[in-house]
Amino acid sequence: MLTRRHMLLGVVLALPIGAGTAKAQTLRVTIDKMAFSPTEIEAKPGDTIEWINNDVFAHTATVKGGFEVMLPPKKSGSVVMEQAGAVDYYCRFHPNMKGRIVVRP
């Protein structure tokens, strides 16, 4: 005979692992030899994008009409993605450096 405790335990064990609210993540983009890597990254709302500048030059992660993250040499900077959509960014000092963030709900 199953007790109430055994039935409740069965319900808890039946829940899929990872059910519930997903935790926000920190996704890293490195800058090395005048390039963002990876050049495209997928995130969710609430995730943090962190750029790590390994170059000896200052860079930015700039979105026209949006954010700009200053990235001094050998330093990092970040931004929290708040809404779904795609944004293209570039380095204001080196416009040939480009990247893309796709935020999926």
Per the structure, the complete domain to which residue 91 belongs is given by 23-103
Tell me if 17 is assigned to some domain.
no
- 55, part of any domain: yes
Scored b (16 or more CB within 10 A) or e, 46-56 reads: ebebebbbebe
Read off the pLDDT of residues 62-90 as tens digits, 9 standing for 90 and up. Answer: 999 999 999 999 999 999 999 999 999 99
* Residue 85 falls inside a structural domain: yes
Q: Is residue 13 part of a domain?
A: no
**Domain membership flag for residue 7:** no
Encoded tokens for 79 = 């931004």
Q: What is the pLDDT of residue 11?
A: 36
The tens digit of pLDDT for each residue in 15-71 reads 444 444 579 999 999 999 999 999 999 999 999 999 999 999 999 999 999 999 999
Does a structural domain hold residue 92? yes
Q: How many domains would you assign to the chain?
A: 1
104 to each of 43, 70, 84, 85, 87, how far by Cα in Å? Answer: 6, 25, 5, 7, 12
Q: What SS3 class is residue 9?
A: helix
